[in-house]
Chain A
Amino acid sequence: MLITKRDRENIVVFDLEGEIRRSDAPGVSLHQHVKEELEEGRRDILMNFAKVPFIDSFGIGEILASYISTQNSGGRLKLAGISPRLFLVFQVTQLTRVLDIQDNEEKALASFIKS
């Protein structure tokens, strides 16, 4: 899995690429990346999954840990570009009740600005 970070309109955007699974975990995890940004005082974080074909429970655990950390820091975490298949996992686990999932990056950025 490849994680790249960029800034857009004062929002930290993590572009994720490749499958997110325990067996293919990067040296620095997604959650660690998020924690680092939170420690630096960044509060709005967007994870872009447009190039993620598969995610396992380890990957979702990373997202949930990031969500908790963000919430504890008083920040906001949004998800975008999730494939239908991945959306199904969030839907069935009822995480859609809690997580803010947007269709794409633009809509996500817009929702940050609106709220």
Chain B
Amino acid sequence: MKGRFGFFLRRFAPVQAGEERVVGYLFAHFFFLMASIYVSKVSKTSLFLGLGLTKGSLPLVYFVSAVLTGVFAAWNTKKIRSLDRRAYLSLTRWLFALGTSAFFFLFWLTRDLGPGRSIVPALYWFWLEIFVLASVTQFWVVVGSVCPPRRAKHLVSFFVSGGLLGGICGSVIVVFLSRLMPARNLILLGLVFYLAGTVFVRAAVRQAPSAPAAASGRPPDFRDGFRTVAGKPYLRLLAALIVVALAASTMIDFQFNLAVKAAFENEEARRTSFLAVFSVGVLVVSWLLNSLLANRAIQALGVRAALFVMPIFLAAGSAAFFLLPAAGFASWAIFMKGADKSLTHTFSQATRELLYIPVPQDIKAKAKMTIDMFVSKTGEALASLLQVVFGIVLAFPAARMSLVTIAIVVVWFLILARIGRRYLPAIRENLVPSRPDAERLVREQARPETAKQLLDLLESRERSSVLYAYNLFDLLRAEKLTPELRQVLSDKSAEVRASALDTLLDADSEALGPDWSEPSDKEPIDVTVREVLALDAYQNIMRPSFDAIAGDAAPAREVDQMEVAKALGMMPADAPLTENLTLLLRHESPGVVQYALESAGRLKKREYLPLIVPHLGRPSVSDRAGEALAAYSDKAVTVLRVWLADFRADRAVRQALPFVLAEIGTPRAAEALVRQLRRRDSEVHEAVIEALFKLRTRNERIKFRERDIMPEVRCWVEGACRDAENRAAPSRNFRPLFLLLGLIYPHADISQALQNYTEGTKRAVDYALELLENVLPMAVKEIILPLLEDAPQVEKARAARRILKSMK
């Protein structure tokens, strides 16, 4: 299969290297299975319509069929639980082989009975419904268990094509054979096709990657399935969707059967031939739709919009019944049936499968089995009851039954609207629990500012009681001292050199709190201190002292300089003494510079900016420099932008600047970053992207223009495509791409997708890509997803060439 056929599969189908064999077997199985089903269905319908069907008997057949298949489903579920996959396949093969053979003989025995006198065609109808239900469900369960979810999604339309081709082949054979033999003989042909198909499904199961029994889809019992469906709102909606879709389809089938019976009364060969031709027509249209339109339409419309295609068509078609003359009913009923079938085979089936993507694998296995086997039957039973009520009790003519169909479709719309609202949240809910947003966590919970202030406090305690007091003021002013922390500091007060500080830390006298912080009684000490620092008299008295300290280069004065640096930050910006800060910002000692930077951030004087920026390149003070600059907010943006653009500036400084702008977080800061992004300066490009993303995380109100960001996305894509073409090149870092996308598309979703993609597990990557597929526009998806997909190098290189070509 790795030879020419493998090449063929990879060339014309969405098949990746390594999976050709399994996909080929599944395709072949579905081909023969659908050939078998179509041969048998044509025979079944023709035989049943030949019984002398009345308007009243068809609803009964629908109802009994629904009940029996439900009961069978219960039995079937238990068998699946008790047998392994291969034993189950073997059992069903023998069961259907024997059953079909038995019916052949029953038809032969009752061949001479007149119309309306044999119950065998009705029994065969029930039998075939069970066969179709079990075999199709089994096929999709096998697909789900041997293909990863995202691969299964891509392969659905390919398998459906195989089924359609099988149905066409089977129906064409029936067209020719129906004139040569009675319909009862054709059911043996269906059996032959079925047995041929089972060879391939067994081979597919053998070839599939080994999976534990539970994970390979050994379904749970139906009670468990019902509980699962009932317990999840999203699954309840999917179940309701199936009910209404089947109910509408059964209503259309009802009208179709009445029309065919009227048209081919007592003409079994012609009826069988017509039904086969009809099937061929439906399948060819379905195949064309599936091959040429459905996939593209689903991709273009998105899953949620594509779901509306079928009900809109059915509603419009049913409404059109009332515009036609009575004579046109048969043609229109046949047309509607054809449309219903074609759309079911294409849009409806594919989109319904996609709706299960947000459902975790274990829950999906239980829910899908329950919905396909039981819930869908409820739709048929509901339709049969409506046929009894409106067709028999209220005596609606066949054409007017379209009113009921329209009513069902209205409910269908309502359910789809709710599903549309829940689809994306359901995907988000099932994302692999990702690491929390570290920055947000720190900002909201860890209070880094408090930690820093505490650290300053503890460091200064042994160094200087003045610094200690200043730092204590900062904490108390910001009300960041918890009672526990107050107690700890109070216990340690004895170690503090200045006994005066006991007044701040004396827990007994509550000096930390009410004693000096209640303005109603006494002015808080820090307020008094600030007022004193602002006094002209103070400025005059302290000038000689501060000038001498700030201008002294002797290391022995370091503590004094720290105290002065700290005090300057508590003065008004226009206080004469603050001139000394320029000297202290140039100091060699990191300790002094730290306090000077902090004060500069408080005073926010423009003349300090050129002195602060270079400190971004000093690891010991770079954090403090960043905070000081961020405190300037927009006032600093112009200066920072110039430094950032200056390629002669220190590299470490330049790489730190984008994060300062992100910290500032204003639209002007964002604009400065975008300007720099457009320069594509390799030294700071990644830092700028990271900073832009950080800025957007902190302030989601800031919007970026697509025309600014998309060129960078395209640039990344082009680079990644060239890397993919050059097999020797390592894979390009995907992080900048996600970050860029997060600037212009739903930020939270892209963040989650990034975290899951980074997680790297198959499931996490699948959900990340699914999320991207749902939030990105088509033009972006087309150039990005193929590069992010987990695919062999050869596939990626081919996709890269295609993307590069499309981008030109």
Residues of A that sit less than 8 Å from B by CB: 21, 54-57, 60-61, 64-65, 67-68, 84-85, 87-89, 91-95, 97-98
Contact = CB atoms under 8 A, between A and B. Distances in A.
A89 B529 contact: yes
Contacts of A95: 532, 538, 541-542
Q: Which of B499, B500, B563 has the most CB of A within 10 A?
A: B500
B529 A98 contact: no
Q: How large is the interface on B (under 10, 10 to 19, 20 to 34, 35 or more residues)?
A: 20 to 34
Interface of B: 465-466, 469-470, 473, 498-504, 511, 516, 522-523, 525, 528-529, 531-533, 535, 537-538, 540-542, 545, 563-564, 567
Contacts of B540: 68
Contacts of A68: 537, 540-541
Nearest to A86: B500
A88 B535 CA distance: 18
Nearest to A96: B466
Given A64-B541, A88-B525, A94-B564, 5 more contacts: A60-B532, A60-B535, A89-B532, A91-B500, A94-B542
B220 to A, nearest CB: 72
Task: Label chain B's interface by main secondary structure.
Answer: helix
23 contacts: A54-B522, A55-B528, A56-B528, A57-B528, A61-B535, A67-B541, A68-B540, A68-B541, A84-B503, A85-B511, A87-B500, A88-B500, A88-B504, A89-B528, A91-B466, A93-B567, A94-B563, A94-B564, A94-B567, A95-B542, A97-B545, A98-B542, A98-B545
Given A88-B469, A98-B545, A93 B525 contact: no
Contacts of B501: 88
Contacts of B563: 94
Contacts of A98: 541-542, 545
Contacts of A57: 523, 528, 531-532, 535
A67 to B, nearest CB: 7
B542 A92 contact: no
Contacts of A92: 466, 469-470, 473, 525, 529
A55 B529 CA distance: 11
A113 B501 CA distance: 31
Nearest to A84: B500
A113 to B, nearest CB: 25
A115 B294 CA distance: 103
B516 to A, nearest CB: 7
Contacts of A87: 500
A61 B528 CA distance: 11
Nearest to B549: A97
Q: Which 8 A-B residue pairs are closest in the complex by CB-CB distance?
A: A57-B531, A64-B537, A88-B500, A85-B503, A87-B500, A84-B500, A92-B469, A93-B532
B539 to A, nearest CB: 10
A54 B465 CA distance: 21
B524 to A, nearest CB: 11
Contacts of A56: 523, 528, 531
A85 B500 contact: yes
Contacts of B533: 93
Nearest to B531: A57
Nearest to A93: B532
A55 B531 CA distance: 12
A65 B528 contact: no
Nearest to B563: A94
A67 B503 CA distance: 26
Contacts of A89: 525, 528-529, 532
Nearest to A99: B541
Nearest to A88: B500
A54 B528 CA distance: 11
A65 B545 contact: no
A33 to B, nearest CB: 17
Nearest to A62: B537
Q: Which of A56, A64, A67, A95 has the most CB of B within 10 A?
A: A64
Contacts of B541: 64, 67-68, 95, 98
A13 to B, nearest CB: 23
A84 B499 contact: yes
A60 B528 contact: yes
A57 B528 CA distance: 5
Nearest to B499: A84
Given A87-B500, A88-B469, A94 B545 contact: yes
B483 to A, nearest CB: 21
A60 B531 CA distance: 10
A44 to B, nearest CB: 19
Contacts of A85: 500, 503, 511, 516, 525
A60 B564 CA distance: 19
A38 B271 CA distance: 131
Nearest to B469: A92
Contact of A91 (B465, B473, B542, B564): B465
B499 A94 contact: no
Contact of A84 (B473, B502, B537, B564): B502
A52 to B, nearest CB: 12
B503 A93 contact: no
Contacts of A54: 522
Q: Which of A60, A65, A67, A97 has the most CB of B within 10 A?
A: A97
Nearest to A98: B541
A94 B466 contact: yes
Nearest to B533: A93
Contacts of A93: 529, 532-533, 538, 567
Q: Which of A61, A88, A89 has the most CB of B within 10 A?
A: A88
B509 to A, nearest CB: 10
A56 B504 CA distance: 17
Contacts of B498: 88, 91
B469 A91 contact: yes
A67 B502 CA distance: 28
